[in-house]
Amino acid sequence: MAGIKTLGQFIIEKQADFSYAKGELSRLLRDIGIASKIVNREVNKAGLVDILGDAGTTNIQGEGQKKLDVYANEQFISALTSGGECCIVATEEEDEFVPIDSPVSKNAKYIVCIDPLDGSSNIDCNVAVGTIFSIYRRKSVEGDATLADVLQRGTDQVAAGYVIYGSSTMLVYTTGKGVNGFTLDPSIGEFCLSHPNMKIPENGTIYSINEGNYVHFPDGVKQYIKYAQVEDLATSRPYTSRYIGSMVADIHRNLIKGGIYIYPTTAASPNGKLRLLYECNPMAFIIEQAGGKASDGFKRILEIEPTELHQRTAIFIGSAAMVANAERFMVEHSQPQGLPNIAEEKLEQLGVIGGID
């Protein structure tokens, strides 16, 4: 064990960074880690037991729930309930937020927003899937926590992370002081620090987008894709197209190698498809802490004001230079209604003169 630092040890060491925390946040992160181990076990044996397939229900988004979605949702809610540090769980799989109704949790300080199993439609193909979570401090000080406690901007997050269940299982998280990654060692059943102080490259050569929806993309996205495919040695183009279809897997790869992940608005999803509170905000927090950038094409993801629990948004996330360049294309080739000067103002903010080369 010499030289090995477990997730639990690391969290305790960093606890002093939080003047407002008295161990609750550390225990909350520990509870999420424990639940992820249980989910990982089921994901790894999913092909051997009757846990794949449709559960016969749909979630609030109208998406069919897979059995593993339901199982993961139950495990995380159970872990967060028994831990006592969380008063509300907002999850993709529930129509409304879930209040933790226990004497201990009633006055707990924290709110958790979670996507229990991102990319689960791919699991029967043995593709990496994951869990995404976001942690906020509750705003109310008296009585029951309410929806207003959940609807906080991404800038208010105190911690965020994801777990990727793949060839190895990793938990990556931030508390606003950098990003660290832990790999699960199955021989001892512990997450061990394997990727300290993770940094996303400033630039990259990978773009991740479902090009099958190309005809429905905004013109700015279409133009960026054309740009990415043009040969230009000075900018290392053409870029490599890599799209897994699991947000966690695509962003994890780009975090390590550099790249951009784009899920724009489409004709079918005019507000975007990915959920702000438990997908985009936590991923944006992580990527920004690693030195990257996250935007809806015009505005920083973390500054979007949420108005509903399952709010959707477009997202451009990854290496800072690549996201900034994609934003330039969006501003140059898009003109949101009612904002006639947005393109000119935004290009001026981005330092672009005379349009895009």
Q: What is the pLDDT of residues 16-47, one digit of tens each?
A: 666 555 678 888 998 999 999 999 998 887 76
Q: What is the reported pLDDT for 141?
A: 77
In-domain check, residue 314: yes
Q: What is the reported pLDDT for 351?
A: 54
Q: What is the reported pLDDT for 99?
A: 86
Which parts of the chain register pLDDT below 50? 337-343, 352-357
In-domain check, residue 357: no
pLDDT digits (tens, 9 = 90+) for 190-199: 999 999 999 9
267 and 312 share a domain? yes
25 and 126 share a domain? yes
In-domain check, residue 61: yes
129 and 63 share a domain? yes
Domain boundary among 161, 195, 229: 195
221 and 342 share a domain? yes
HEC per residue, the chain: CCCCCEHHHHHHHHHHHCCCCCCHHHHHHHHHHHHHHHHHHHHHCCCCCCCCCEEEEECCCCCEEEHHHHHHHHHHHHHHHHHCCEEEEEECCCCCCEECCCCCCCCCCEEEEEEEEECHHHHHHCCCEEEEEEEEECCCCCCCCCHHHHCCCHHHEEEEEEEEECCCEEEEEECCCCEEEEEEECCCCEEEEEECCCCCCCCCCEEECCHHHHHHCCHHHHHHHHHHHCCEHHHCECCEECCCCCHHHHHHHHHHHCCEEEECCCCCCCCCCEEHHHHHHHHHHHHHHCCCEEECCCCEHHHCCCCCCCCEECEEEECHHHHHHHHHHHHHHCCCCCCCCHHHHHHHHCCCCCCCC
In-domain check, residue 244: yes
173 and 27 share a domain? yes
In-domain check, residue 287: yes
In-domain check, residue 104: yes
Q: What is the reported pLDDT for 59?
A: 65
- Host domain of residue 269: 206-349
Q: What is the reported pLDDT for 192?
A: 96
Domain boundary among 169, 195, 221: 195
